[in-house]
């Protein structure tokens, strides 16, 4: 009895998972369509989502201030931008 019921349970589980996957994909598609229709929303989505300056926690010392120590940077071989020194960084 269980061996004849297993294919139906398996098929039902696959259909439920497919339904959930299409729902998630649809929500993402429709939310993207809603953003492109409103220019104000589209302009706001390119900026910081909080509207505040965001600092990575790695840049803070134990007291919560921005560190003065030199930071390690990584450059890739296809990177064509010239390196920027710490003195010419934009703050």
- Model-level pTM greater than 0.75? no
Lowest-confidence range among 38-42, 43-47, 82-86?
38-42
What was the pLDDT predicted at 32? 64
Q: At residue 61, does pLDDT exceed 70? A: yes
Q: At residue 39, does pLDDT exceed 60? A: no
Q: At residue 74, does pLDDT exceed 70? A: yes
Ordered DSSP codes for the chain: -HHHHHHHHHHHHHHHHHHHHHHHHHHHHHHHHHHHH-HHHHHHHHS-SSSS----GGGB-TTSSBP-S-------TT--SPP--GGG---
């Amino acid at each position: 009895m269980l061996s004849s019921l297993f294919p139906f349970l398996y098929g039902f589980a696959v259909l439920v998972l497919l339904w959930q996957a299409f729902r998630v994909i649809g929500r993402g598609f429709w939310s993207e369509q809603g953003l492109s229709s409103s220019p104000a929303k589209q302009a706001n989505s390119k900026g910081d989502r909080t509207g505040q300056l965001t600092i990575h926690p790695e840049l803070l010392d134990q007291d919560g201030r921005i560190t003065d120590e030199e930071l390690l940077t990584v450059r890739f071989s296809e990177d064509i931008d010239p390196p920027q020194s710490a003195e010419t960084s934009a703050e």
